[in-house]
Amino acid sequence: MSIKKIGVLGAGSMGGGIAHLAAARGFEVVLCDVEQRFVEGAVKRIAGFMDKSVVKQKMTVDEKEAALKRITITTNMEDFASVDLVIEAIFEDLEIKKSAFEKLDKICEPHTIFGSNTSSMSITALAAATNRPDKVVGLHFFNPPLIMRLVEVIRGYYTSDETVKLASEVSQGMGKTPVVVQKDTPGFIVNRIMMPQFLEAIRIVEEGIATPADIDTAVKLGLNYPMGPFELMDFTGVEISVHVADYLFNESRDRKWNAPEPLKALVRAGRLGKKTGAGWYDYK
């Protein structure tokens, strides 16, 4: 089996970025979200990014137009009936994702592979909502998908070797480097390493040891990271860190994953990072 047509469920920054990657690399794409304005907005953003690539001579005008023609937008999941792979990139809520996978299972052909872009949730639990658990796999792209080179390919309990192979090949076809997570564990690889750094950075602020700005500077200059923890939380969305920390805590009951109060306070205040104009920092 080869993957030629990809469905992307969710037209936000991640879903839109994945659709952009797939179309630019020659895959046919069906991009779906709950409202027409979301999918139209995603295509407008994709076209804008491609315009910049044309200016930088990274693609031609003809290549841009051909890529955009490979994207079909829809608000109807029934339009995924003919795809070879669905990549789910919707809100990080396990029950919402399971409901989507249950619907997809009834719509898609038996050969269709289901991939989830979840950053930490159980692939096995998602697969249990389908009658094809061997064809369900984690496909965790990183934000922003156009720039970040990694894709975590996560095995669920029943994920077949063939599914892992095809998911890895698709990742490579999009110009990414796949790493296989052999065991379906909360947080996978990157978030399991990154979240303790986020939480410890917040505790350093709580203890009055240093400010977010000084911690970011220390991490960038001392560890050679491109962004500090507070900058990165603001970039990806502060609420994402709360969701991931809560999920890790609920799965393990280990207090090291307990989200510190300042993190939860930001979410309550609607300070979700750059997208709202304020997070750990103000952007207005």
Active site residues: 119, 140, 152, 191
- Asked whether 245 and 264 are in contact (CB, 8 A), the reply is no
CA distances from 51 to 16, 23, 46, 241 (A): 16, 15, 9, 32
3-state secondary structure of 153: strand
d(CA 233, CA 263): 10
133: cis peptide before it, omega within 30°?
no
Amino acid at 197: Q
- Asked whether 65 and 54 are in contact (CB, 8 A), the reply is no
> Strands, E, within the chain: which ranges?
5-9, 28-32, 71-74, 85-88, 113-116, 136-141, 150-155, 177-181
d(CA 101, CA 94): 10
Beta-bridge mates of residue 116: 88, 138
- Tokens representing 258 are 């307990």
CA distances from 1 to 5, 160, 187, 218, 258 (A): 12, 14, 30, 48, 43
**Per-position DSSP letters for 88-132, written without gaps between them:** E---S-HHHHHHHHHHHHHHS-TT-EEEE--SSS-HHHHHTTSS-
- Tokens representing 68 are 């955009």
